[in-house]
A and B are shown apart, each in its own frame.
Chain A
Amino acid sequence: MTVAQPQPEGLTFECETGNYHTFCPISCVAWLYQKIEDSFFLVIGTKTCGYFLQNAMGVMIFAEPRYAMAELEEGDISAKLNDYDELKRLCLQIKRDRNPSVIVWIGTCTTEIIKMDLEGLAPKLEAELGIPIVVARANGLDYAFTQGEDTVLAAMAVRCPDKAPVAETEKHERNAIQKLLHFGKKKEDVVQEESEYADHPPLVLFGSLPDPVVTNLTLELKKQGIKVSGWLPAKRYTELPVLEEGYYVAGVNPFLSRTATTLMRRRKCKLIGAPFPIGPDGTRAWIEKICSVFNIQPKGLEEREAQIWAGLEDYIQLIRGKSVFFMGDNLLEVSLARFLIRCGMTCPEIGIPYMDKRYQEAELKLLEKTCQEMGVPLPRIVEKPDNYNQIQRIYELKPDLVITGMAHANPLEARGINTKWSVEFTFAQTHGFTNARDILELVTRPLRRNNSLKDLGWDKLVKEDAKV
């Protein structure tokens, strides 16, 4: 590894052809239907969409999922059939069989091209069926992979109640969720519990995370006296948080820029722009930023971070001084790269499908600062990458680790290049102090594998270094 002089200029952004591999954004149904327990996701598309879901989501399909395809047939495309009647028929069937609290329609490429007016049909059908219908256009024409969640949450943000339904109770009982939480407790307990928190305006977090991670991050903030009034999405659609004008919101994932925009513009909330709580450095920066907005002096964070880093040392030893190349497919790349650079890695390239420089501003600044502090060159950030070109660059740079999609992982491994499948970062628990180890568990796995298999002489397993 060469330690280059920190470059004086800022990060460089490039944009390539957009010929890269990623998952279709409709894949978000796979984790969102699990997160929102009373929902039903209806993907309105073709066999292609259905085949993708059933193959990409593997075995999950068999647990009687609360999602299905509304498979468009030739009659639908040529408008021989009436969209409204067809959707009504299917949604009635869903209501009868599953009785969900919300049906989420996922618009696809096909509904875009034939200009099916889902947003127009939904309110009518909603009134007729008596079930809320949320429309999210998560299609491959506009979005990549995790951005699917962004479109769904942006649509849900509009559905959050705008007034706490219990105005007659005490002032500090701001919303229904709180009331639910206090259900069954004596009034004195509630007052006492309230006092654990500093006096600050309501804060709602957005981004879908597994429940244990939600609990964990909520507790982290509680330690600083910050109360999380609600979370978008909640476990159930019926528990969506109250969003009044002037509430503060903060994102937990880097791909939620539409949701952030919706919360600011349509719900008049104030966005706390912070780095994302991925890695101990990110988590600390995230908490500090929230504290600073609420004028709270954070306590014990420095020691906490140091303690987490100390616990990671055995893994960090494996990657210190090694290089990592992100091909880019899920928008978590900048945060992960920032964390890995802090762990002592170098990163020549961060590929990313889409870069919202405003929403990710704080994260990008932290990346820059991290590079300077660690004395490593700034990575080039390549938006809409071209996988073919990237592979040529990988051959040249010979990185120690390539984080990539499944389409390239096995071929790269066969050529002696270590890979980690990027989608795992989307599904693993990566947020907060506690889960930093899980990220490194993933990152170091190929390197640990190498340690176990070393001296076997099996690194290159293709006959000639074939063309890409």
Chain B
Amino acid sequence: MKLAYWMYAGPAHIGTLRIASSFKNVHAIMHAPLGDDYFNVMRSMLERERDYTPVTASVVDRNVLARGSQEKVVDNIVRKDQEEHPDLIVLTPTCTSSILQEDLQNFVERAQLDAKGDVMLADVNHYRVNELQAADRTLQQIVQFYIEKAKKKGELPEGKTEKPSVNIIGMSTLGFHNQHDCTELKRLMADLGIEVNEVIPEGASVHNLKNLPRAWFNLVPYRELGLMAAGYLQAEFGTPFVDITPMGVVETARCIRKIQQVINAQGANVDYSEYIDNQTLYVSQAAWFSRSIDCQNLTGKKAVVFGDNTHAAAMTKILAREMGIHVVCAGTYCKYDTDWFKEQVSEYCDEVLISDDNAQIGDMIARIEPSAIFGTQMERHVGKRLDIPCGVIASPIHIQNFPIGYKPFLGYEGTNQITDLIYNSFTLGMEDHLLEIFGGHDTKEVITKGISADSDLNWTKEAQAELNKVPGFVRGKVKRNTEKFARERGLNEISLEVMYAAKEAVGA
């Protein structure tokens, strides 16, 4: 048992649901107790989804506990198949069903007899993998399922596309700025003269998965999601993949050079160096920013970075290599992929922290006292408590991290966005610091008194106590309204009764 207040990566089924609901016309059925379907709430709220989240539960209740699910799961799958005609239904185990050890594979096979669409069981162990690993695995599983199906039917298209083309693998629902990143990557590919063959899983149809082998290469922008699918496609079809995250000026250039190498090896004969130069020097503002005097002021400032592998590693490199900021500690909660992270960031920071215990991370931040933090929502709150500004760079995230405006983290526009994020975090910190030195914005005493300040009315102790319970931002209004009410009635003492009577009268 572990005492936990907060967790960075969610449980495995969240990963599976993120993949399933990213595809078009794929439905997930969770084998779960009542209340476990809050994934729908998260998707509906955070992504502000207009459509119903294609996830339902086959509810595990007392009866299921006593007698097993029996027909229930099969019936639910078949029913959903008839109601919505999805292409694929993914039966999703949860922590509860893992312990019940029902033969879910058997349910899937039985349901497949009656269902028109495909049915599969997500192969994830709840107690061994987290959200990210489960998502990676589920994506690979679905890709493999449809490649094999196409093979069996002889529907697998032959050969590659005429022009160089790419599959972008790993864009998913509830992913950090994924939608904007996807647009930016498509734009980048268009600039490079590369056709986008398929984007999976976000917005993809399972019918198109058989086309995946037609791409010249696969691009996997995020370390956490898509590598297994890319690995499978490489083993099966020899499709090479590029797994350099194009985040930051240097890494974007590195990613593009790698793409150049990969497609030239297949006879494309392209040279992107001029494009990279032009973008770096004149289009993206990030390189110019690092020369500007603004950035000079940041030199040697201390920062702490924490997040998932992709974003924490890329951010550490940007801060250290592109802006001369002193990254004291870089950390990740992806404990299962530690070696990669260490290898990526070791030369750019003083220490590396691998942990998913937020108390440990909070303590580290308190000890280091950086000028800015780049982390998740949790680090933002640590920052609030310690009065240190924080830029949010990775999940877990809240609704404000699903901006409506265009805010990619990847590609050249991404470098601009990141520059703003970093710069704003630091200047805010600086401003705060200066304000402290000079004693606040405005040191003059308030001389004008509002009507509530010189009250001629007497508040009883109870009423005063009650008033103090009213949230601060409306307390003044409640006080004023109550006193107005009392004055109008010629009362000179305000008791609890008067307070409530006033509230009823004016709706204060």
Within 8 A of B (CB), among A115-148: 139-145
B11 to A113, Cβ gap below 8 A? no
- Beta-carbon nearest neighbor of A432 in chain B: B500
Question: CA–CA, A25 to B392, complex, Å?
Answer: 31
Is the CB of A30 closer than 8 A to any CB of chain B? no
Q: A68-B5, A110-B99, A219-B496 are in contact. Are A48 and B65 (CB under 8 A)?
A: no
Asked if A140 and B33 sit within 8 Å, CB to CB, the answer is yes
Question: Are the CB atoms of B7 and A54 closer together than 8 Å?
Answer: yes
Contact A23 B38 (CB under 8 A): yes
Measured between beta carbons, the chain A residues less than 8 angstroms from B384 are 62
Q: Does chain B have a CB within 8 A of A211?
A: yes
Of the listed stretches A156-164, A170-178, A403-411, chain B binds A403-411
When C-beta atoms are compared, the residue in chain A nearest to B12 turns out to be A47
Whether, in the assembled complex, A466 has its beta carbon less than 8 Å from a beta carbon of chain B, the answer is yes
Given contacts A61-B5, A468-B83, is CB(A46)–CB(B50) below 8 Å?
A: no
Q: Which of A46, A52, A112 contacts B126 (CB under 8 A)?
A: A46
Given A90-B1, A144-B34, the answer on whether A74 and B127 have CB atoms closer than 8 Å is: yes
> In the complex the two chains form, is B38's CB within 8 Å of A56's CB?
yes
Flag the segment in B51-59, B301-309, B343-351 that touches A.
Answer: B51-59
> Measured between alpha carbons, how far is A461 from B51 in the docked complex, in Å?
10
> Chain B: which residue is nearest A415 at the CB level?
B50
Q: Which of B39-47, B284-292, B486-494 contacts A (4 or more CB under 8 A)?
A: B39-47
B470 closest partner in A (C-beta):
A212
Contact B51–A141 (Cβ < 8 Å)? no
B61 at the A/B interface (Cβ < 8 Å)? yes
A21-B40, A77-B127 given; A87·B61 CB < 8 A: no
Least CB distance, B299 to chain A, in whole angstroms: 33
Cβ-defined contact, A76 with B36, below 8 A: no
Please report the C-alpha to C-alpha distance between residue A466 and residue B35 in the assembled complex, in whole angstroms: 25
With both chains docked as a complex, state the minimum distance between the C-beta of A109 and any C-beta of chain B, in angstroms.
5
Whether A411 lies near B60 (C-beta < 8 A) is no
With a cutoff of 8 Å between Cβ atoms, the chain A residues found around residue B84 in the complex are 467-468
Given the complex of chains A and B, what is the CA–CA distance between A223 and B420 in angstroms?
A: 61
B contact residues around A56 at 8 Å (CB): 38, 41
Chain B residues in 8 Å Cβ range of A216:
500
For residue A112, which residues in chain B have a CB less than 8 angstroms away from its CB? 65
> Which parts of B19-78 form the interface with A (CB within 8 Å)?
32-38, 40-42, 44-45, 48-53, 56-57, 59-62, 65, 76
Q: Which residue of A lies closest to B38 (CB)?
A: A52
**Is A65 located at the chain interface by the 8 A CB criterion?**
yes
Which of A51, A58, A145, A466 has the most chain B CB within a 10 Å cutoff?
A51
- Residues of the A chain whose Cβ atoms lie less than 8 Å from the Cβ of B33: 24, 109, 139-141
Q: Which of B42, B469, B496, B503 contacts A55 (CB 8 A)?
A: B42
A219 lies within 8 A of B65 (CB):
no
Task: Tell me whether B41 and A406 are in contact (CB under 8 A).
Answer: yes
- Tell me, yes or no, whether B6 is within 8 Å of chain A by CB: yes
List chain A residues, Cβ under 8 A from B500.
Answer: 216, 219, 434
> Is the Cβ of A388 less than 8 Å from the Cβ of B11?
no
B262 within 8 Å of A (CB atoms): no
A434 and B503 in contact, given A58-B398, A109-B60, A142-B62 (Cβ under 8 angstroms): yes
Chain A residue with the shortest CB-CB distance to B128: A74
Q: Please encode chain B, from 356 to 385, with 1 for each CB lying within 8 Å of some chain A CB and 0 for all others.
A: 000000000000000000000010010010
Contact of A110 among B14, B45, B96, B130 (CB under 8 A): B96
- Against B, the Cβ 8 Å flags (1 = close, 0 = not) of A8-46 are 000000000011011111100000000000000000101
**B51 & A462 in contact (Cβ 8 Å cutoff):** yes
- What residues on B are CB-neighbors of A47 within 8 Å? 7, 10-11, 95, 126, 130
| B11 close to A144 (CB less than 8 A) | no
Q: How far is the CA of A68 from the CA of B358 in the complex (A)?
A: 13
Residues of chain B lying within 8 A (CB to CB) of residue A434 = 500, 503-504
A311 at interface by CB-CB < 8 Å: yes
Cα-based distance from A94 to B503 in the complex (angstroms): 41
Please provide the chain A residues from 325 to 362 with a CB less than 8 Å away from any CB of chain B in the complex: none
Q: Is B16 an interface residue (CB 8 A)?
A: no
Question: Total contacts A to B, CB within 8 angstroms?
Answer: 185
CA distance A349 to B42 in the complex (A): 27
Q: Are A46 and B51 in contact (CB under 8 A)?
A: no
Partner among A61, A93, A411 whose Cβ is within 8 Å of the Cβ of B52:
A411
Partner of B99 from A22, A114, A145 at Cβ < 8 Å: A114
Chain A interface, number of residues (Cβ within 8 angstroms): 77
B36/A65 in contact, CB under 8 A: no
Partner among B3, B13, B38, B42 whose Cβ is within 8 Å of the Cβ of A93: B3
Task: From known contacts A23-B35, A55-B42, infer whether A18 and B59 are also in contact, taking CB-CB under 8 Å.
Answer: yes
Q: Hey, which chain A residues are within 8 Å of B7, CB to CB?
A: 47, 50-51, 54, 71
CB interface residues, B 63-121, toward A, < 8 Å: 65, 76, 83-85, 94-96, 99-100
Max chain A Cβ within 10 angstroms of own Cβ: one of B37, B60, B381: B37
Within 8 A of B (CB), among A439-468: 461-462, 466-468
Which of B14, B35, B41 is the one whose CB lies under 8 Å from A25?
A: B35
- Bound-state Cα–Cα, A110 to B3, Å: 16
B44 touches A407 (CB 8 A): yes
CA distance A58 to B45 in the complex (A): 12
List the A side residues contacting B100 at CB < 8 Å. Answer: 113
Residue in contact with A48 in the complex, picked from B42, B56, B95, CB distance below 8 Å: B95
Kindly provide the distance from the CB of B413 to the nearest chain A CB, expressed in whole angstroms: 27
A18 to B423 CA separation, bound complex (whole angstroms) = 52
Q: Contacts A24-B35, A74-B127, A308-B504 given: A86-B1 contact, CB under 8 Å?
A: yes
Contacts of B469 in A (CB 8 A): 211-212
A437 to B500, CA, bound (A): 13
A139–B59 CA distance with the chains assembled, in angstroms: 13
The CA-CA distance from A48 to B37 in the complex, in Å, is 10
Q: What mask results when residues 65 to 95 of chain A are scored 1 for a CB within 8 Å of chain B, else 0?
A: 1001111111011000100001101100110
A307 touches B504 (CB 8 A): yes
In Å, the complex CA distance between A113 and B34 comes to 14
Task: Contact check, A141 vs B83: say whether CB atoms are below 8 A apart.
Answer: no
- Beta-carbon nearest neighbor of B99 in chain A: A113
Residues of the A chain whose Cβ atoms lie less than 8 Å from the Cβ of B83: 388, 467-468
Residues in A neighbouring B76, C-beta threshold 8 A: 19
In the complex, whether B430 has a CB less than 8 A from a CB of chain A is: no
**Is A215 an interface position by the 8 A CB rule?**
yes
Asked whether A461 and B50 contact (CB < 8 A) given A21-B37, A69-B3, A140-B34, the answer is: yes
Given the complex of chains A and B, what is the CA–CA distance between A61 and B358 in angstroms? 12
B127 x A73 contact (CB < 8 A): yes
In the assembled complex, the CB of A80 is this many whole angstroms from the nearest CB of chain B, namely 12
Cβ of B404 within 8 Å of any chain A Cβ, yes or no, is no
- Bound complex: CA A408 to CA B65 (Å): 28
CA distance A74 to B129 in the complex (A): 11
B405 neighbours in A (Cβ, 8 Å) = none
CB distance from B471 to the nearest CB of A (A): 11
With CB as the reference atom, state the residue of chain B lying closest to A83: B1
30 contacts between A and B (CB under 8 A): A19-B56, A21-B41, A24-B36, A48-B94, A48-B96, A51-B7, A54-B6, A62-B381, A69-B2, A70-B3, A113-B99, A140-B35, A140-B36, A141-B62, A143-B34, A144-B34, A145-B35, A311-B507, A391-B52, A406-B45, A407-B41, A408-B44, A409-B44, A410-B50, A411-B49, A411-B52, A437-B507, A461-B50, A467-B84, A468-B84
- Given A59-B398, A211-B469, 16 additional A-B pairs, CB 8 A: A18-B34, A48-B96, A52-B36, A89-B1, A90-B3, A109-B96, A140-B32, A307-B504, A311-B507, A391-B52, A406-B44, A410-B44, A410-B50, A414-B51, A437-B504, A467-B84
Interface residues of B (CB under 8 A from A): 1-7, 10-11, 13-14, 32-38, 40-42, 44-45, 48-53, 56-57, 59-62, 65, 76, 83-85, 94-96, 99-100, 126-128, 130, 378, 381, 384, 396, 398, 466, 469-470, 496-497, 500, 503-505, 507
